[in-house]
Amino acid sequence: MTEKRVFSSRLLSCLIAISMFFLILSCSLLLRIGNNSLVPTSIYNLIVADHVSVDPIDPINPKASSCDPNQAVLKVFMYDLPPEFHFGLLGWTGRTGGTSGLWPNVGNVSEIPRYPGGLNLQHSIEYWLTLDLLASGSLSIVRSCTAVLVHNSTQADIIFVPFFSSLSYNRHSKVDGAETKSANDVLQERLVEYLNGRDEWKRFGGKDHLIMAHHPNSMLIARWKLGSAMFVLADFGRYDKQIANIDKDVIAPYKHVVRTVDVKKSPSFDERPTLVYFQGAIYRKDGGVIRQELFYLLKAEKDVHFTFGSAGGGGIHKASAGMSGSKFCLNIAGDTPSSNRLFDAIVSHCVPVIISDEIELPYEDILDYSKFSIFVPASDACRKGYLMKLLRGVTKEKWTEMWENLKKVAPHFEYQFPSKPGDAVDMIWKMVSRKVKPLHYKAQRKNRFKTSQQFLKSR
């Protein structure tokens, strides 16, 4: 009887193990098949890669985790620039003792300077990426292990320049008193001089350097002198194609300023009484004149909210409530092709209607925006009755499908510290990695005969 029980127990365990194997296999196949799937093969591969590369968390100390530089997707060397280029712009005065005095102790959240709120936050990409690199050297911080900091530049895939250029523009672009140059201009000039004197810059002419210039007016002086580097940008609206282009640069999402809607509490189709929502600056120059045209076309529609708005006076709170209560949110070109409004809409689960012919979108090489957004050419949007007919023609079923997809992709647009696999910080590092690989491939081809030439010289 005992032998039978043991045999039955073992048989049951085997059956459970086999069932679990086929369950996991079937889930994997569901992710990979289907032309209508939101997760293309490239995304599937990223998910699998993340699962394999992230070290398991120490079961004894749940906060402990380590990133093996040899397993990371991207190895990053960061210059030790003085604090006035980065956290000093936030009022941080530094720590005493060695090179550690250049950087805050990210292992203690209370010692990390806070980034200013309001619309300043939308271009804070520089802050989150720098914090993430600093955290990669701490065993006490659990984070995504896509990028790790290395201290030997020859071992790095990319050289990171920790200049908070957007913050510098926002806070120090005006000339004070008897000064002839703004503090922002002075910092840019110092940065150019510093980089041009570095062996790392000379090695590839700066092509393997990563410079953050997310605010469209940041780096106005330095961009022309450092244009060989890879830029992290919001769009290409104020850049010459020789300085910035999709082949070498990275488009990063704005940090949204409205609150993120909880997936479990996200209002459904029938719980969103407003059909179309837009609140912001209406009278813009250049490509933004379309906002004015659409305002006059839509302002009389009963189920449309189209009005002027700003961040002040509770504007962000009103926008948050308005977007989460609307089915469609307009993202219309302004002074530049992109705006923070798109990313506010995404985290509000309000289907974005993108009316910006020249816009470049983050992660578009791996994310299919047509699964959760509607693109409308500017010429069509300005035709009387066209836009409202189009949006009223979207069925509840089709809208709900896009709404469900929005809830899935929204985490990719969240900046946070520490970073998590698949969030905005992690996705940006992966974009950088995809840009870096062709660069190193070209460099290696160029160096094919370098060794043989060195042998000849040594004889």
**234, two tokens:** 């919001």
Structural domain includes residue 124:
yes
Structural domain includes residue 63:
no
**267 and 241 part of one domain:** no
Instruction: Read off the pLDDT of each residue in 115-124 and give the average, rounded to a whole number.
Output: 92
pLDDT value at 10 more than 70 = no
Number of domains in the chain: 3
**24 and 97 part of one domain:** no
Query: Which pLDDT score, from 0 to 100, does residue 281 have?
Result: 81
Q: What percent of the chain has pLDDT over 70?
A: 77
Instruction: Read off the pLDDT of each residue in 277-297 and give the average, rounded to a whole number.
Output: 81
pLDDT tens per residue, range 395-438: 999 999 999 999 999 999 999 999 999 999 999 999 999 999 77
**234 and 272 part of one domain:** no
Structural domain includes residue 61:
no
**111 and 173 part of one domain:** yes
Structural domain includes residue 68:
no
**20 and 91 part of one domain:** no
**129 and 242 part of one domain:** yes
pLDDT tens per residue, range 58-105: 322 333 345 666 778 999 999 999 999 999 999 998 875 545 588 999
pLDDT value at 276 more than 90 = yes
Instruction: Read off the pLDDT of each residue in 165-184 and give the average, rounded to a whole number.
Output: 92
445 versus 248: which is more confidently predicted? 248
**281 and 383 part of one domain:** yes
**137 and 228 part of one domain:** yes
Structural domain includes residue 67:
no
pLDDT tens per residue, range 16-53: 555 555 555 454 444 443 444 444 443 433 333 333 23
**10 and 132 part of one domain:** no
Nearest to 253 by CA among 373, 124, 142: 124
Structural domain includes residue 449:
no
State the SS3 of the chain: CHHHHHHHHHHHHHHHHHHHHHHHHHHHHHHHCCCCCCCCHHHHHHHHHHHHHCCCCCCCCCCCCCCCCCCCCEEEEECCCCHHHCHHHHCCCCCCCCHHHHCCCCCCHHHCCCCCCHHHHHHCHHHHHHHHHHHCCCCCCCCCCCEEEECCHHHCCEEEECCCHHHHHHHHCCCCCCCCCCHHHHHHHHHHHHHHCCHHHHHHCCCCEEEECCCCCCCCCHHHCCCCCEEEECCCCCCCCCCCCCCCCEECCCCCCCCCCCHHHCCCHHHCCEEEEEEECCCCCHHHHHHHHHHHHHCCCCCEEEEECCCCCCHHHHHHHHHHCEEEEEEECCCCCCCCHHHHHHHCCCEEEEECCCCCCCCCCCCCHHHCCEECCHHHHCCCCHHHHHHHCCCHHHHHHHHHHHHHHHHHHCCCCCCCCCCHHHHHHHHHHHHHHHHHHHHHHHCCCHHHHHHHHHC
Q: For residue 7, what are the domain limits?
A: 2-53
Nearest to 185 by CA among 166, 194, 172, 195: 172
137 pLDDT band (50/70/90 cuts)? confident
Query: Which pLDDT score, from 0 to 100, does residue 340 have?
Result: 94
